Structure 1
Amino acid sequence: MRRVRVLEEQGYIQGYHADVDSRALGFEVQVFVMVGLQSQAETDLSTFEGRCRQWPLVRECHMLNGEVDFILKCVAPDLSTFQSFLTGDLLTAPNVASVKTSLVIRGAKDEPGVPFDVLEERLSRSA
């Protein structure tokens, strides 16, 4: 408990979240979406990130280096809802050049946070 309080006081803990069973709540579809943009100017990247924050189905948005500019994690109640988002919002968004989707069949691991034991082990070796 003391460790948690110290992490809170130092600003490392940014919030608390419930571990929700999305499928039990009716969100049957999870999709990873790789997005390529026409322009990677900072204003265009920021504009796309802002748009992602406005789309409820987009649960995570990460800018990448390499062939793909962004990877999005999307959750939807069904394929039809995701397809409506894809064709009505994402594909028609300004500056979007390419979109590739991968439907999640099953998850093998979903571990939030960071592995504290790895950090503690590394710190104990350097001490």
Structure 2
Amino acid sequence: MPGSRLDAIDRKILAELQADGRMTNVELARRVGISAPPCLRRVRTLEEAGFIRGYHADINTRELGFEVQVFAMVGLQSQAEADLSRFEARCRAWPLVRECQMLNGEVDFILKCVAPDLSSFQSFLTEELTAAENVASVKTSLVIRCAKDEPGVPFEVLEARLSKSA
């Protein structure tokens, strides 16, 4: 199991940073129960190893005027690796697409999109997404409200799993 190669302090560091990536190293060290210099070394090691990919602000999209959030389920004509890669590259270039996940099953990709208004999204949908090379079908669902939006992983589940296997 990938998380098991981390010790309890590393997992605590990740859990704390996941909850609040802006805290100082001194505060982080206090919360995980070690001094500041080894805490900073551990954080840098976790960054270099790829456990920490970056630090981001949790932006309120609606307060910024992005009133519309849509999930788009995309089916492609071809699932050859080159075609999948080309579609993923297109998704990375579209500003309205905030997440792109490849799935198995009936749908090839699910895209999380934001837009200032419905007409902006509809323009993107008709002029960009459905017109893109290799796109066979697109089904969309407009988000009415969000009941939960938690970043990262549930560390308490990992801890419980690790304590069972110990």
Does the pair score TM above 0.5?
Answer: yes
Larger Rg: 2
Partner of residue 83 from structure 2, selected from 30, 41, 44: 44
Does residue 60 of the first structure (1) align with residue 108 of the second (2)? no
Count of matched residue pairs: 127
- SS at 2:138's partner residue? strand
Asked if 1:104 is matched to 2:143, the reply is yes
CA distance in 1, matches of 2:127, 2:159: 47
Q: What's the % identity of the aligned pairs?
A: 77
Give the alignment's TM-score, normalised by structure 2: 0.73
Alignment of 1:15-26 (within 5 A): 15-26=54-65
TM (norm. structure 1) is 0.95
Per-residue deviation, 1:83: 0.5
Q: Which runs of structure 2 are paired with 1:21-32 in the superposition (5 Å)? A: 21-32=60-71
Report the RMSD for the aligned CA atoms in angstroms.
1.4
Q: Secondary structure at the match of 1:66?
A: coil
**Greater share of residues in helix:** 2
Shift of residue 124, structure 1, vs aligned partner: 1.4
3-state SS of the aligned residue for 1:72? strand
Partner AA of 2:107 in structure 1: V
* Stretches (4+) displaced over 4 A: none
SS at match of 2:79: coil
Match for 1:43: what amino acid? A
Q: Which amino acid aligns with 1:55?
A: W
TM superposition shift of 1:38: 0.4
What is the aligned partner in structure 2 of residue 114 from structure 1?
153
* Structure 2 SS opposite 1:71: strand
Partner of 1:8: 47
Q: Which runs of 5+ in 1 are unaligned?
A: none
| Unpaired stretches in structure 2, ≥5 consecutive residues | 1-27, 29-38
1:91 is matched with which residue?
A: 130
Relative contact order higher in (CA < 8 Å, ≥ 6 apart): 1
